[in-house]
């Protein structure tokens, strides 16, 4: 089947699944008021790709049918540049607020398939073959995929690593004729209510003796025994004036419970093979997926800069302090954009026929963006000040007694009308301060690990030879001048 339409995507969400939102089971994903906005937004993403096939579609390498660019296994630097254009177009749609549009995991699994030999080591040939076959299914059926890769934590003092026999951790229970049975919990499945399939894959290495937890597989969301517990919805109100972002871009987050779920062998990619489990994420995954995430981050920062500027213009705020803060957001945007360009410019062949961007500038962003995004939100809140708290709702503009008062007291500078001014500040509130803003800030802080953890790991992706040489020169000269 070629790339899906939005209508076909929504049809795929109709089969029953065990999804819970706001304390109740959801029978109709597409029609539920807490989920309908994001479901339609994702359908629009599917249609967006079909509307611009030159940017967003490529022929399947085997069937020739059009598939999403996100499924591409890049074979050259030019391929990476082409993929950039598609990923940017998708990010533009939600101004970077939907971090888990289907392209996120499309890119992930294309990278896994491109690095299949790594998955086939240590006797895991069957798992690697199943992985490659699944990536073909993913691209040909144009599925929407979610993932849950974080082990649940009850007691931080016990550490984050699952312990043998831990009943809450996702683990293998037994073998069956057709696969394996798994039980346990996982966090955090963003996009879960809107996905066709769920993937489980490694996040961090496990110690010796953890074979029961060393699993990688995919499973349809309709599989018996799979329960999806979503956080509170932010999108129950569909009014795009009052809630311009949360009404359509609440991609949801969920805790996942597997209760004796059977995983078919053709969807089982790692079955207790600890050496493979601990090595596959050390391959191309990081450089591949951070390419997608940092393109999205660039778009989000571009939007934030534009929003902050529009707020300042509405208030005619030309003071040096405001201009300095606008310049600060611009710097973050340019640093991010430039790092992505640098990563693409230094792209290289990871294995034969599979190219990846240079991971170093992308890893630097991975460490810094969790610090930059809170500051961006703070700047918008400072510029917005109390004006963000005095932005009338759509219903108030429709009241014949209130409207003249609103027009008189709540218009903007430079002939900006009261309704436009309110829409600007409501947009800023939704972006930074309402439930949507708080959730997205939390997402940016932790979705690729925290900033401190990434800073600790950052030097491991670089070669320190040149920096050591620059230092060694002066040490050598000093020692020569200080002879005993």
- Local confidence band at 162 (pLDDT 50, 70, 90 cut-offs): confident
Read off the pLDDT of residues 437-447 as tens digits, 9 standing for 90 and up. Answer: 999 999 999 99
Task: Note the pLDDT of residue 311.
Answer: 98
**pLDDT above 70 as % of the chain:** 99
Residue 361 has pLDDT above 70, yes or no: yes
- Which option is the CATH number for 284-468: 1.20.140.10, 1.10.30.50, 3.40.50.720, 3.30.9.10? 1.20.140.10
Torsion, Cα 13 145 139 293, to 10 degrees, reads: 130
Question: What are the residue boundaries of the structural domains of the chain, listed by start?
Answer: 6-281, 284-468
Task: Note the pLDDT of residue 259.
Answer: 98
Read off the pLDDT of residues 210-265 as tens digits, 9 standing for 90 and up. Answer: 999 999 999 999 999 999 999 999 986 678 999 999 999 999 999 999 999 999 99
CA distance 79 to 57: 12
- Local confidence band at 459 (pLDDT 50, 70, 90 cut-offs): confident
> What are the structure tokens assigned to 458, written together?
């950052």
Q: Judge if 6-281 and 284-468 fold alike in CATH terms.
A: no
Mean pLDDT of the chain: 96
**pLDDT above 90 as % of the chain:** 92
Torsion, Cα 432 438 441 447, to 10 degrees, reads: -150
Q: Considering Cα of 152, then 155, then 160, then 165, what sign does the dihedral take?
A: negative
Task: Note the pLDDT of residue 82.
Answer: 98
> With respect to CATH, is domain 6-281 assigned 2.40.110.10?
yes
Q: Is 67 helix (H, G, I), strand (E, B) or coil?
A: strand
- Work out the average pLDDT over 48-67: 97
Residue 193 burial by Cβ neighbours in a 10 Å radius (0-12, 13-18, 19+)? buried
Residue 434 has pLDDT above 70, yes or no: yes
CA distance 445 to 369: 8
Task: Note the pLDDT of residue 237.
Answer: 67
Read off the pLDDT of residues 187-196 as tens digits, 9 standing for 90 and up. Answer: 999 999 999 9
Residue 214 burial by Cβ neighbours in a 10 Å radius (0-12, 13-18, 19+)? buried
């Amino acid at each position: 089947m070629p790339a899906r339409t939005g209508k076909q995507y929504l049809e795929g969400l109709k089969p029953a699944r065990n999804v819970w939102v706001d304390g109740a089971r959801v029978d109709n994903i597409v029609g539920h008021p807490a989920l309908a906005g994001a479901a339609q937004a994702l359908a629009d993403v599917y249609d967006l790709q079909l509307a611009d096939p030159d940017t967003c579609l490529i022929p399947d390498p085997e069937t020739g049918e059009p598939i999403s660019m996100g499924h591409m296994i890049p074979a050259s630097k030019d391929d990476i540049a082409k993929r950039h254009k598609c990923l940017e177009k998708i990010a533009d749609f939600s101004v970077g607020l939907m971090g888990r549009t289907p392209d996120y995991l499309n890119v992930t699994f294309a990278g896994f398939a491109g690095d299949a030999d790594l998955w086939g080591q240590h006797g895991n040939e069957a798992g690697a073959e199943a992985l490659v076959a699944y990536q073909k299914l993913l691209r040909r059926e144009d599925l929407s995929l979610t993932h849950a890769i974080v082990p649940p934590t009850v007691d931080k003092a016990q550490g984050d690593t699952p312990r043998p026999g831990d009943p809450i951790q996702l683990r293998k229970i037994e073998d069956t004729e057709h696969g394996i049975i798994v039980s346990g919990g996982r966090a955090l499945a963003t996009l879960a209510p809107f996905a066709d399939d769920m993937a489980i894959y490694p996040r961090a290495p496990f110690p010796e003796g953890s074979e029961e937890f060393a699993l990688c597989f995919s499973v349809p969301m309709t599989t018996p025994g799979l329960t999806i517990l979503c956080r509170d919805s932010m999108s129950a109100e569909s009014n795009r004036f009052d809630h311009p972002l949360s009404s359509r871009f609440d991609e949801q987050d969920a805790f996942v419970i597997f209760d004796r779920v059977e995983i078919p062998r053709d969807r089982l990619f790692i079955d207790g093979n600890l050496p493979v489990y601990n090595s596959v994420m050390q391959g191309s995954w990081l450089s591949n997926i951070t390419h997608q995430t940092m393109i999205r981050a660039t778009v989000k920062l571009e939007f934030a800069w534009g929003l902050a500027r529009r707020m300042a213009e509405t208030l005619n705020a030309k003071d040096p302090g405001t201009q300095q803060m606008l310049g600060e957001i611009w710097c973050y945007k340019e640093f991010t954009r430039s790092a992505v360009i640098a990563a693409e410019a230094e792209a290289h062949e990871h294995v034969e026929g599979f190219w990846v961007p240079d991971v170093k500038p992308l890893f630097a962003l991975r460490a810094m963006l969790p610090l930059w995004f809170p500051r961006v939100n703070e700047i918008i809140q400072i510029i917005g000040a109390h004006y963000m708290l005095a932005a009338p709702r759509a219903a108030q503009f429709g009241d014949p007694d209130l409207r003249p008062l609103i027009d008189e007291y709540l218009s903007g500078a430079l002939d900006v009308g009261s309704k436009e001014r309110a829409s600007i500040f409501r947009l800023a509130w939704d972006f930074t301060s309402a439930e949507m803003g708080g959730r997205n800030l939390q997402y940016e802080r932790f979705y690729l690990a925290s900033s401190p953890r990434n800073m600790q790991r950052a030097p491991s992706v670089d070669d320190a030879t040149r920096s050591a040489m620059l230092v060694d020169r002066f040490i050598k000269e000093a020692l020569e001048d200080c002879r005993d």
